[in-house]
Amino acid sequence: MTRFWVGGYGADMDGDAEGIGLLSVDDGRGPSTLRYRGVAAGVASASWLAAHPTLDVVYAALEGEGTVQAFARSGESELRPLGRPLRAGDGVCHLSVSPGGRMLVASCYGDGRVVRFGIADDGALVPAGVDKAAALRAALFGETDAADGADADPQRARDPHPTPTGDEPRQSHAHAAVFLRDGRIATTDLGFDLVRIWRASGQALALDHEVVLPRGTGPRHMVLHPSGHLHVVTEYSCEVFTLASARDGSWGLVSATPASPIAQVGVDFPAELAVSRDGDTLYTALRGSNTLAALRVRGGGEVLEPLALADAGVDWPRHHLVYDGTLLVSGQRSGTVSVVDLDERTGAPRDVRHVTQAPTPTVIIPAR
């Protein structure tokens, strides 16, 4: 049996989820047996989940509370808290774990903060800039308040675009982070149309440089392609921007491609971006038309071509995962997860094979 953890919005975010849930597939019968099996850990609005690369530990962004928390697997279908929730920032909506499993970066939509946490040997979270032993004791046993809060972005993002006369100033909205091959971290700021590149400096983050995207595009999520290119999907302009690193280590924009030739700006709002196992295809979901758009990757990874558009089988497809020749798609507003077949030859999304109920799902990740 293959299992997946599913996060979702709870009552504090106008949703129905009662915690981190469990989905399962009967391996002998395939993805069409996907079903929701109940709550694995009772917690409020775990809207994003990230897994430790080697330990059976899951990290949850508790968006309504503005905190992050670690959970360790306990039995076949349960997760237990590994320490108490730690403050991140308003509207924490995304988490990314370093490949070595020693750092977690949280992105906060509400206040634009980018927050670094350390990760202890057992997978527990440790705020950066705090003595690890003392912080771990505080997180596990509540001895002090040392574990509350974490180092925020020391250089708050500034809008690189002039504010038109008469308009209100825009707000910073950090939305996602990706660890790059050289150990640096890329983050998106949806509010200021920025991709920011960071270096780990001691136990904090130091801004290296920024890539400014056109005003009003709204960079949301990213995927690092096997070629080394960074693909960024934009929520407002319905595009995928491709960034590349120059010899001096600076990142810059090399191409911009519509997510779909028929996507409607102001109606469709792309959400997640995922890459096929062979790296030949990118998938994004268009909330609004409730479709899945596929793009073919050409050249050395820098050229994208719209490939196909298909029904997502859910309402408001917020997140999707490539699994066993299908896409698993979470429908936030429909309270369902769909299984969409992928063409074996081209990778294009095809028919909706199966739909199962799940409370206000916002993210799906594989369980160990």
Q: What is the pLDDT of residues 22-36, one digit of tens each?
A: 999 999 899 999 999
Given a cut of 80, is residue 335 above it in pLDDT?
yes
Spell out where 260-348 has E strands: 269-275, 281-287, 291-298, 303-311, 317-323, 326-331, 336-342
How far from chain centre, in Å, is Cα 30? 26
How many degrees, rounded to 5, is the angle at CA 223 between CA 42 and CA 6?
15
- Give the count of beta carbons closer than 10 Å to the beta carbon of residue 227: 15
Nearest Cα neighbor of 7 from 270, 367, 364 is: 364
Nearest Cα neighbor of 62 from 84, 82, 92, 41 is: 92
Q: What is the pLDDT of residues 297-323, one digit of tens each?
A: 999 999 999 999 999 999 999 999 999
Mean pLDDT of the chain: 93
- Mark 297-334 as b/e (b = at least 16 C-beta within 10 Å): beeebbebebbbbbbbbbebbbbbbbbeebbbbbbbeb
Q: What is the Cα–Cα distance from 188 to 178, expressed in whole angstroms?
A: 9
Given a cut of 70, is residue 132 above it in pLDDT?
no
Side-by-side strand order, sheet with 125-127: 92-97, 103-108, 114-119, 125-127
Question: Could you tell me which residue, 143 or 115, shows the higher pLDDT?
Answer: 115
pTM summary value: 0.93
Q: What is the pLDDT of residues 94-112, one digit of tens each?
A: 999 999 999 999 999 999 9
The backbone region for 198, taken as left when phi is positive above 0, alpha when psi lies in -120 to 50, beta otherwise, is beta
Given a cut of 90, is residue 155 above it in pLDDT?
no
Q: What is the pLDDT of residues 22-71, one digit of tens each?
A: 999 999 899 999 999 999 999 999 999 999 999 999 999 999 999 999 99
Tell me if 220 sits within 8 A of 271, measured CB to CB.
yes
Fold of domain 2-160+169-366: Methylamine Dehydrogenase; Chain H (2.130.10)
- pLDDT score, position 140: 54
Q: What is the Cα–Cα distance from 286 to 262, expressed in whole angstroms?
A: 11
Tokens of 40: 């694995």
Q: What is the Cα–Cα distance from 266 to 250, expressed in whole angstroms?
A: 32
CA atoms within 13 A on the CB side of 215: 9
- 127 pLDDT band (50/70/90 cuts)? confident
- pLDDT score, position 75: 86
Q: What is the Cα–Cα distance from 181 to 228, expressed in whole angstroms?
A: 8
Query: Domain-by-domain residue ranges, the chain?
Result: 2-160+169-366
Q: What is the pLDDT of residues 235-277, one digit of tens each?
A: 999 999 999 999 999 999 999 999 999 999 999 999 999 999 9
For the residues 111-123, what does the mean pLDDT come to?
Answer: 96
Tell me if 105 sits within 8 A of 187, measured CB to CB.
yes
Question: Could you tell me which residue, 150 or 113, shows the higher pLDDT?
Answer: 113
Spatial neighbors of 166 by CB under 8 A, at least 6 apart, are none
- Mark 209-225 as b/e (b = at least 16 C-beta within 10 Å): ebbebebebbbbbbbbb
Q: What is the Cα–Cα distance from 232 to 8, expressed in whole angstroms?
A: 23
Q: Which DSSP category does 139 fall into?
A: H
- pLDDT score, position 368: 86
Given a cut of 50, is residue 344 above it in pLDDT?
yes
Residue written as token pair 């698993």: 328
Q: What percent of the chain has pLDDT over 70?
A: 92
Of 107-111, 203-207, 292-296, least confident by mean pLDDT is: 203-207
Give the C-alpha distances (Å, rounded to integers) separating 95 from 74, 151, 189, 299. Answer: 22, 15, 14, 31
Q: What is the Cα–Cα distance from 157 to 310, expressed in whole angstroms?
A: 37
